[in-house]
């Protein structure tokens, strides 16, 4: 089971990432404060960036893992992840890395090509 400590360790290992308390909760940001992840007040749920058009498919495929907070996340490109439902640390890393990529500026992504999205063939 992934923990808040795992989230913190992985998120802060990403280039330019920093942790900042917002709304009384730990958030993880990159490039002038662009939010890419947050933990809930019980450290059981991770919020990450996710294009709205991808959320329904993820939630339908794994509702025990992914969800949105209705009335809160509806209009934002945001997805919630139950940490206890993650398979392992690698899955957590993949989710955080994907969210970081969406928030990171192109210049930072270019400086770290190993973290870029692999090109489709």
Token pair for 96: 């955080």
Burial of 45 (0-12, 13-18, 19+ CB in 10 A): middle
Tell me the pTM: 0.92
- Please list the ranges in the chain whose pLDDT falls under 70: 118-121
Burial of 87 (0-12, 13-18, 19+ CB in 10 A): exposed
pLDDT tens figures, 85-97: 999 999 999 999 9
pLDDT of residue 120: 44
Nearest to 116 by CA among 95, 99, 101, 96: 101
């Amino acid at each position: 089971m992934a923990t808040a400590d795992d989230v913190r360790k992985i998120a802060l290992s990403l280039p330019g990432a920093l942790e900042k308390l917002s709304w009384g909760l730990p958030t993880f940001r990159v490039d002038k404060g662009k939010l890419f992840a947050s933990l809930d007040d019980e450290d059981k749920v991770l919020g990450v960036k996710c294009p709205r058009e991808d959320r329904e498919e993820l939630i339908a495929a794994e509702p025990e893992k992914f969800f949105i907070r209705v009335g809160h996340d509806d209009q934002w490109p945001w997805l919630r992840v139950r940490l206890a439902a993650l398979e392992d640390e690698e899955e957590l890393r993949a989710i955080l890395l994907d969210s970081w990529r969406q928030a990171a500026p192109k210049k930072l992504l270019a400086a770290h090509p190993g973290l870029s999205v692999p090109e489709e063939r």
